[in-house]
Amino acid sequence: MIRILVQAALAVTLLACASAGAHDLSAGDANYVEQLRGSAPGTFAYLGAKHMFTGYDHLLFLTGVLFFLYRGRDILLYVTLFTLGHSVTLMAGVALNWQVNAHLIDAIIGLSIVYKAFENMGGFRRLLGRNPDTRIAVLVFGLCHGLGLATRIQAYAPRGEGLATNLISFNLGVELGQIAALGIILMMLLAWRRQPAFNGQAFAANTVLMCAGFTLTGYQLAGFVFA
Amino acid sequence: MTTKDGQLVIATLSALAAAAVMLLTVILPAEYGWDPLGTGDLLGLTGLSVEDANALANEPGAWQSDAMAFELPPFASVEYKYRLEQGQTLLFEWQSDGEVVVDMHGEPDGAAPGYAESFRQSRGRRNSGSYRAPFSGVHGWFFQNRGETDVTVSLETQGFYSHAIEYSEGRELRRNF
């Protein structure tokens, strides 16, 4: 138990160290995007993919969702639900000019990681006697993730001319980035699951995931208070 | 996977406690400078959250200000540029009583004759802002009147430039400050 905790602490510290600012558009990207006028599909698709691929909160949530998914059909279903969720709020959020505090959204995304880890640990089955419908949870968290994306992209996307093209490109990029990340996570999970020790380590791994989720939540709430 | 209640409670509380410890001892001091336990100071983390350490740039040169007015008959043009070293900042405002074509650009030291990096090409009656020279060289504006009546462009700047050069009608006029 102690060894697991030490490993967990190390893993999350590494994550936290890598975290500073990794989520937002980097300063160079932001400068460039602010200068853009009109449609720039390539730029926005790339930024969408980069956001997903370097956004450790998205990656952690994906890891939680994929952890116990074995069948290709299930993986496709959950990824589609998540995509549907964040596409809806990304498009609607920008179209209706919603401004949600990015720190609060990211705190909810942190909690979504805690939620998925708790479910993977068998917590809900123990607590409620059954698992809440994961499909609904994944859809709802997809909606939240999309709100975060919408708030960010509005800070940079020039309004008016080219907005629709830029948004669709960004969303497409998010999908591409997600598929790329998904492939790598799935490959590692497949290799891990074949190990006889997997079942014993799964509980500890999800405890680590949960700790990361709590850490992200606290970090973002602090950002809401201090920043 | 069947989970025992005790195991679940311990794991959840450990996850929460580990997160809280990391936040309070390392992450919040480093990211927001909030250091309730003094661990940020101990580990040298509190300096990380100081707002943009590059916000202040000291300038050894003398502070200058300049105001120019250019009268441009139809289809006449003028170029006016300042000598700036890399990283030096210029504050500017220009306005015109008629629409002019503008190209703001800089010529790096040692570049081929006629080579310029353009930062803004537009038409208009006014523009103001700041410019931070991305390279050492001369930096400034090309104004052209493409209308049918005379226009006057007035330009005001402040910065740490040593001289300016005016190019008009094939002549080069150096103004030292």
What does the block give as tokens for A177? 């980035």
If asked whether residues B34 and B120 sit together in one domain, one would say: no
DSSP string, A144-193: HHHHHHHHHHHHHSPSSTTHHHHHHHHHHHHHHHHHHHHHHHHHHHHHHH
Model confidence at B54, pLDDT cuts 50, 70, 90, reads low
B18 — phi, psi (to 5°)?
Answer: -60, -40
Shortest distance, CA B173 to any CA of chain A (angstroms)? 33
Chain A to chain B, count of Cβ pairs less than 8 Å apart? 92
Residue B55 resides in a domain: no
Averaged confidence pLDDT in chain B: 89
Contact B15/A8, CB-based, under 8 Å?
Answer: yes
B12/A123 touch (CB, cutoff 8 Å), yes or no = yes
A111 close to B (CB below 8 A): no
pLDDT tens for each residue of A124-141? 888 888 778 888 888 998
Q: Which residue of A has its CA nearest to B31?
A: A20
- Which range is least confidently modeled, A32-36, A104-108, A166-170, B117-121? A32-36
The pLDDT, as a whole number, for residue A23 is 45
* Dist. CA A13–CA A31, nearest whole Å: 30
Asked whether residue B54 is assigned to any structural domain, the reply reads no
Intra-chain end-to-end CA distance of chain B, in Å: 80
As a whole number, mean pLDDT of residues A132-154 equals: 85
Domain ranges of chain A: 41-226
**pLDDT, tens only, B91-107:** 999 999 999 999 999 99
Are B88 and B154 in the same domain? yes
Whether the per-residue pLDDT at B17 is higher than 90: the answer is yes
Q: How confident is the model at residue A18 (pLDDT cuts 50, 70, 90)?
A: very low
pLDDT of residue A28: 59
Same domain for B72 and B41: no
> For residue B59, is it within any domain?
no
Mean pLDDT for A63-67 is 91
Print the domain residue range for B39.
5-49
B88 shares its domain with B21: no
Q: Are residues B75 and B13 in the same domain?
A: no
Give yes or no: residues B78 and B130 share one domain.
yes
Number of domains in chain B: 2
* Residue A90 CB contacts under 8 Å (≥ 6 apart), including other chains: A146, A147, A149, A150, A153, A167, A170, A171, A174
Q: Which residues pair with B55 in a beta bridge?
A: none
Query: Average pLDDT of chain A?
Result: 81
Q: What is the pLDDT of residue A36?
A: 63
Q: What is the DSSP string of B125-143?
A: EEEEEEEE-SSSEEEEEEE
B30: closest CA of chain A, how far (Å): 9
Least CB–CB distance from B12: residue in A118, A208, A215: A118
Q: Are residues B16 and B77 in the same domain?
A: no
Produce one character per residue of B58-73: b if its CB has 16 or more CB atoms within 10 Å, e if not: eeeeeebebeeebebe
Report yes or no on B30 lying in a domain. yes
3-class SS at A131?
Answer: coil
Q: Do A9 and B22 touch (CB under 8 A)?
A: yes
Name the H helices within chain A: 2-19, 27-35, 41-54, 56-66, 72-95, 102-120, 123-128, 134-156, 163-193, 198-226
pLDDT > 90: percent of chain A: 28
Query: Do B69 and B152 reside in the same domain of the chain?
Result: yes
Give A4-15 pLDDT, tens digit per residue: 444 444 444 444
Angle at A54 between CA B53 and CA A142, to 5 degrees: 120
CA atoms within 13 A on the CB side of A81: 16
Domain-located, residue B122: yes
Same domain as B86, residue B43: no
Residue B129 lies in a domain: yes
Query: Do the beta carbons of residue B137 and residue B111 sit within 8 Å?
Result: yes
Whether residues B90 and B165 fall in one domain: yes
Which chain B residue lies closest to A110 (C-alpha atoms)? B19
The structure tokens listed for B101 are 């074509």
Portion 117-176 of A in contact with B at CB < 8 A: 117-118, 121-123, 125-126
CATH code of the domain covering residue B107? 2.60.120.680
Of A19-28, A207-216, B64-73, B151-160, least confident by mean pLDDT is A19-28
- A163-213 pLDDT, tens digit each: 788 888 888 888 888 888 888 999 999 999 999 999 889 999 999 999 999
At CA A224, angle to CA A222 and CA A226, rounded to 5?
65
Same domain? For B45 and B105 the reply is no
Instruction: For CA atoms B33, B39, B42, B48, give the dihedral sign.
Output: negative
**Among candidates A175, A170, A146, A179, which has minimal Cα distance to A75?**
A179
